[in-house]
Amino acid sequence: MSHLRDLQLRFQEYLIDGSEDIEQDIISTEHAIAEHRLGTYYNAYRIRLIDCLAVDYSALEKYIGREAFENMALDYLQHFPSTHPSVRWFGENLPTYLRDIYSGKEAEFLEELARYEWAQTLVFDAADSAQLLQLEDMAAVPADAWPGLTLNFKPALTWLDLFWNVPLIEDALDSGTEVPQKQRDDFPRRWMLWRHDMKIQWRSLEVHEAWAIEQAAGGANFAAICEGLLEWIDEQQVALVAAGFLKQWVGDQLVLNLDND
């Protein structure tokens, strides 16, 4: 191993866990001894990464409070030091960390809140879509083409399944309005997030719409979606309901274009 590499490993070990071997390599002066000089880096490393996490998880920070958040973030930093050139990805493993480190219902809630906030960052930075399908474009689809229709969704769209009413709580924490009571459903509810005009939009989906959008994103055509929806909807109503979903998604500016399989 080169001498320079040795020095860097000693320095980094100090930053990560305070190992003092590096002190022998550093010059002390009257003004500031090596320990104080090194401490500047030790503290800056922690402050910088805690602050980065607090930007991506601002609702979580408000929910648990700054002090608890800092302690949690310091522990996270020990478990998941950054390995990416862009600090933007440092917080990627926080939901996993929360699930693994904490236990019980509170951990489940915190993990869901973190997962939701991380999903927001991904949607915020997802690829742009130059052109989106508009409702007028759908009028041009001939009746006999409908059964084979498939949809391509834009990249700035995702959904997640949550037991807790996390999006309502996140929204209130973010906007400084009154935070609603925490509520847990017996079954997870699907929440959809997307970006429109550089802002994050979100809403919850009923179980049949949740099923339908997942199928559509997976490449199922209109006929197959109608057939699956029979589990919830009468045969006479099913095509109307499915077409209603399609119109809703197009109206929400989620669909890039249509294909026919």
Partner 1 sequence: MTQPSHKPFLGFGLGLRAEHYQDILERRPKNIDWFEVLSENYMIEGGKPLYFLDAIRQDYPMVMHGVSMSLGTTDDLDFDYLKQLKALIERIEPLWFSDHLCWTGVDHKNMHDLLPLPYTEEAINHVAERISRVQDFLGQQMLIENLSSYITYCEDVMPEWEFLAAIASKADCYLLLDVNNIYVSSYNHHYDPVEYLAGVPVDRVWQHHLAGHTNDGNLIIDTHDQDIIDPVWALYEETAKRFGPVSTMIERDGNIPELDKVLVELDHARRIAEPYYQA
Which is nearer to partner 1, 27 or 139 (by Cβ)? 27
Is residue 2 involved in binding partner 1 (CB under 8 A)? yes
Nearer residue to partner 1 within complex by CB, 87 or 217: 87
By CB under 8 A, is residue 187 in contact with partner 1?
A: no
Contact assessment for residue 28 and residue 38, using Cβ atoms and an 8 Å cutoff: no
The distance of Cα 177 from the centroid of its chain, to the nearest Å, equals 22
| 26 touches partner 1 by CB under 8 A | yes
Residue 34: phi and psi, rounded to 5, are -55, -40
Q: Does 86 bind partner 1 (CB under 8 A)?
A: yes
**Looking at 67, 78, 103, 128, which residue binds partner 1 (CB under 8 A)?**
128
Among 18, 20, 21, 40, binds partner 1 (CB under 8 A): 40
Confirm or reject binding of residue 152 to partner 1 (CB under 8 A): no
Query: With binding defined as CB under 8 A, does residue 3 bind partner 1?
Result: yes
Q: Which of 18, 20, 21, 36 binds partner 1 (CB under 8 A)?
A: 36
Return the number of the residue (61 or 112) whose C-beta is nearest partner 1.
61
Q: How far is the CB of 44 from partner 1 (least distance, A)?
A: 6
Question: What letter represents residue 210's amino acid?
Answer: A
Residue 198 touching partner 1 (CB under 8 A): yes
Nearest to 133 by CA among 216, 54, 14, 47: 216
86: which DSSP letter? S
Contact positions with partner 1 (CB under 8 A) in 203-232: none
Is the separation of the CB atoms in 178 and 172 below 8 Å?
A: yes
Q: CB of residue 119 vs partner 1: minimum separation in angstroms?
A: 14
Least distance to partner 1 from the beta carbon of 89, Å?
Answer: 10
CA distance 192 to 118: 13
| Binding residue for partner 1, selected from 49, 50, 53, 98, defined by CB under 8 A | 49
- 20, 41, 105, 207: which one contacts partner 1 (CB under 8 A)? 41
User: H or E element: which one contains 10?
Assistant: helix 3-17
Alpha carbon of 45 to those of 17, 41, 88, 208, 210: distances in Å? 11, 6, 15, 47, 42
β strands within 115-209, DSSP E: 149-153, 157-164, 184-196, 199-205
Contact in structure between 222 and 148 (CB atoms under 8 Å): yes
Of 119, 60, 118, the closest CA to residue 90 belongs to: 118
Nearer to partner 1, 45 or 202 (CB): 45
Residues near partner 1, by CB under 8 A: 2-5, 7-9, 11-12, 15-16, 24-27, 29, 31-32, 34, 36-38, 40-41, 44-45, 48-49, 52, 81-88, 90, 124-128, 155-156, 195, 198
